[in-house]
Chains A and B, each alone.
Chain A
């Protein structure tokens, strides 16, 4: 049984002029525990929407989403929130650290919604996780005193502090320079591998995407598997590629 399984998932919204905008169309994806998957695509192709659906922040318009064989559509919003806290860790492009809180308080924040020992020992767990991402000496630093790379490390520590089974990274290197982005992705890959968490990263950076074991491209709301070589060039399309945009077929490297 897969950890996550999307079958023919769609997401559409009604615009103010009563037109329907189809953001995701017929998405089918299966992710096993410990797998690293990347999804590439241009801005506005529905990458974040896909991630929000996977992370139980949003609901599909149609289709099935099974979490360890259980349909999430049947879950109450309260249960979804609990699952989100227990099983998912989010890493955002803009880090989204809580302002006015130290690195330690930011990493401890998700544990405020945990129960039992993890709640009462939240600061010890947070300090340990920050140490693991190399920020053991910056516990009491405010986010605005940290570099971009350090802030993203704090965000990674925060995403991992509750030992999630799935890490959802939305453009994790989008706000970082190439070298720092590389370091951050190495760290994310390493810790995800150590903890056995599945890592789903959405990015427009093919080099970052190439680190994953399986790669997908999202275009016009359709998810297709692709093969990336090490430098980050698409070498093979698998399945149907949408042809709405002529650019898609000729210049995949400039996603």
Chain B
């Protein structure tokens, strides 16, 4: 025990005493570890930004969209909205799906201060917000509790709010919506316009539109589509089952299922190797600097090594002592490198760099930090090997007289 501790203490003492040379030698290693760890973390963050952007477009990985429409085949009568909804609920329960939403769209009249205007309304369930990582700029998205409200609520875009003449939703702005039966609807959240001149648009809850008859049924029953978020490994198996079950339960209905495109992993393939290659090359250069300085230093320390041999240091102890100096130094450099990388990554201006806020900021990649540390330690061991061999080959009596 004392032998191991002694070797480490001895190595640390050497580093402390020769801190300037150590510092110079280790800058390269620390920078390389920072590069490896930092770039990997940044790429993971970029990956998450892309992924979240894709999620907002079409749902999280993996979201399955089910489209059902009546074909009238076999003389079957068209199913009602209630039948669609009931069967959808059964399927959700059968396969234990946690997040699912019915979806339909309609042009819905809203009475603004400037007059009634038709607004493109998306009709969904509260889970839609989770599946698509829906982000509001003001107020909030729907919750399950909103379904039970006595009046409909809406999440609207900025153009809608401007047309309404309101500036924020904290004052609970309301307006009338609907054709024959008009219902006072409260705006509870606002989202960003998708493009600069986007006309007013809104999201409404599916249950609210059916409860208050807000949707236009003049053209017949509009079958809803369904969006379900399923585990990626089950997506392929579930699609035919969902399609089959829904079609079987609703005669004369055709059902299609499609899987949304999941965000591309930019860390995969060549990119990953390029990133690691650059970091590894930097580490190699840092290691070469370390070997160079360690070799020169050992030559200066030959007398000291001889003196230590006279104290009873075995050749093994001298070998591991010199080796450990290098390893301890690079481990310290590795820690410094990782700390710098963490500091940089944690303070990165995400909005500016990735062009948008990241909802689920990925945790600092521990694997990248561990890889950086392992590489640094390995470089330290390799860099210390040559000086350690030189140190052991020195004859004690020559070393003392050196």
Residues of chain A whose beta carbon lies under 8 Å from any beta carbon of chain B: 48-49, 52, 55, 57-58, 77-78, 81-86, 88, 90, 92, 96, 98-101, 105, 109-110, 112-116, 119-120, 162
Contact = CB atoms under 8 A, between A and B. Distances in A.
Given A57-B400, A115-B2, A85 B303 contact: no
A120 B401 CA distance: 31
A92 to B, nearest CB: 7
A98 B303 CA distance: 9
Chain B interface residue count: which class? Answer: 20 to 34
A109 B17 contact: no
Given A100-B18, A119-B6, A57 B396 contact: yes
A112 B18 CA distance: 19
A78 B316 CA distance: 8
Interface of B: 2-3, 5-6, 9-10, 13, 17-18, 303-304, 307-317, 396-397, 400-401
Contacts of A78: 314-316
7 contacts: A57-B309, A58-B397, A84-B309, A84-B311, A96-B303, A101-B17, A119-B2
A44 to B, nearest CB: 13
A249 B224 CA distance: 123
Contacts of A90: 310
A182 to B, nearest CB: 25
Given A58-B397, A100-B18, A105-B13, A81 B307 contact: no
B165 to A, nearest CB: 78
Contacts of A119: 2, 5-6
B273 to A, nearest CB: 44
Contact of A112 (B303, B309, B311): B311
Contacts of B18: 100
Sorted from nearest, which 3 A-B pairs have the closest CB atoms? A85-B312, A119-B2, A100-B17
A92 B400 CA distance: 9
Chain B facing A: main interface SS: helix
Contact of A57 (B10, B17, B315, B397): B397
Chain A facing B: main interface SS: helix
Given A81-B315, A116-B2, A119-B5, 18 more contacts: A49-B397, A57-B400, A58-B396, A77-B314, A82-B312, A83-B312, A84-B310, A84-B312, A85-B311, A88-B310, A96-B400, A98-B304, A101-B17, A110-B311, A112-B10, A113-B312, A113-B313, A162-B312
A103 B3 CA distance: 23
Nearest to A87: B312
A105 B307 CA distance: 14
Nearest to A98: B304
A82 B2 contact: no
Contacts of B9: 112
A84 to B, nearest CB: 5
B312 A81 contact: yes
Contacts of A58: 396-397
Nearest to A79: B314
B307 A114 contact: no
A98 B307 contact: yes
Contacts of B13: 101, 105
B396 A120 contact: no
Contacts of A84: 309-312
B314 A96 contact: no
Contact of A113 (B303, B311, B397): B311
Nearest to B307: A96
B280 to A, nearest CB: 34
B311 A109 contact: yes
B309 A81 contact: yes
B307 to A, nearest CB: 5
Given A105-B13, A119-B2, A86 B312 contact: yes
Nearest to B316: A78
B304 A99 contact: yes
Nearest to B301: A99
Contacts of B310: 55, 57, 84, 88, 90
A81 B397 contact: no
Nearest to A118: B2
A57 B305 CA distance: 13
